[in-house]
Chain A
Amino acid sequence: KAGVTQTPRYLIKTRGQQVTLSCSPISGHRSVSWYQQTPGQGLQFLFEYFSETQRNKGNFPGRFSGRQFSNSRSEMNVSTLELGDSALYLCASSLTDSMNTEAFFGQGTRLTVV
């Protein structure tokens, strides 16, 4: 069974641009969540989607948005990139949105904003 796949693995963007990151969950998983990992702030929750609906959103500005498609694949978008958006973006999928379901993580997308 394939794991969580995130594309691209690495990305370099210029300040002010926008970027879209993709996450393909494990087959059959309906819940997808996103996290930002930086040396300064650690791992921070961005948002969670279940059956194409955003269930939770972390404390991030409106420049960060996401969506989930009917096949459970998810994308997150960051507009008007800032240098501080440089981070490892991790996606996790789980079978359901229940608390007792294990979340499986992808290898992340390393975004560098220059």
Chain B
Amino acid sequence: AQTVTQSQPEMSVQEAETVTLSCTYDTSESDYYLFWYKQPPSRQMILVIRQEAYKQQNATENRFSVNFQKAAKSFSLKISDSQLGDAAMYFCASSTGTASKLTFGTGTRLQVTL
């Protein structure tokens, strides 16, 4: 069984600053993917970034990057140059076996202030 834990229910960041959202996971599988999804008030889940467990290099997508520590089973998301549009719920998730069977964390609500 997989578990995903997000210990920060809420975070706040000033516009243009950097924020890091934490996530830890547990799985007995050797091959798996990790994801960060964003859920704005519109409720639609949007993929922010993903990381394959076999890849050593941390994934990066524009202002979003991850710090993947496989031994520690940690997968944090760093958002640089935060923008008002980044305000949303952020979910960390993992998958093994199939693309669409995702295990989600409880989410972190990110506020972006002026």
Interface residues in chain A, defined as those with a beta carbon under 8 Å from any beta carbon in chain B? 31-33, 35, 42-45, 48, 50, 55-56, 88, 90, 92-94, 96-108
Of the candidates B42, B91, B99, B106, the one whose C-beta lies within 8 Å of that of A99 is B99
Name B99's contact: one of A45, A96, A105 (CB within 8 Å): A96
Residues A99 and B98 in contact, CB atoms below 8 Å apart: yes
Contact, CB under 8 Å: A88 / B43: yes
A-chain residues with CB within 8 Å of residue B11 when the two chains form the complex:
none
Which B residues from 22 to 46 make CB contacts under 8 A with A? 31-33, 37, 42-46
A56:B107 contact, CB within 8 angstroms = no
List the A residue with the shortest CB-CB distance to B97.
A99
B99–A94 touching, CB < 8 Å: yes
Is the Cβ of B98 less than 8 Å from the Cβ of A48?
yes
Report yes or no: A42 in contact with B101, Cβ–Cβ below 8 A.
no
Q: How far is the CA of A31 from the CA of B50 in the complex (A)?
A: 19
Chain A binding surface SS class: strand
> In whole angstroms, what is the CA distance A108 to B50 when docked?
22
Is A33 a contact of B100 with CB atoms below 8 Å? yes
List the B side residues contacting A101 at CB < 8 Å.
99
Are A56 and B45 in contact, CB atoms less than 8 angstroms apart?
no
CB distance from A48 to the nearest CB of B (A): 5
24 A-B pairs, CB-CB below 8 angstroms? A31-B100, A33-B100, A42-B105, A43-B104, A48-B100, A50-B98, A55-B98, A55-B101, A56-B98, A88-B43, A92-B102, A94-B100, A97-B98, A97-B99, A99-B33, A100-B33, A102-B47, A103-B47, A103-B99, A103-B102, A105-B46, A107-B42, A107-B43, A108-B44
**Bound state CA distance, A42 and B44, in angstroms?**
15
Contact B100 A92 (CB under 8 A): yes
**Contact of B107 (CB < 8 Å), options: A32, A33, A42, A108:** A42
**B52 on the A face (CB < 8 A):** yes
Q: How far is the CA of A6 from the CA of B50 in the complex (A)?
A: 25
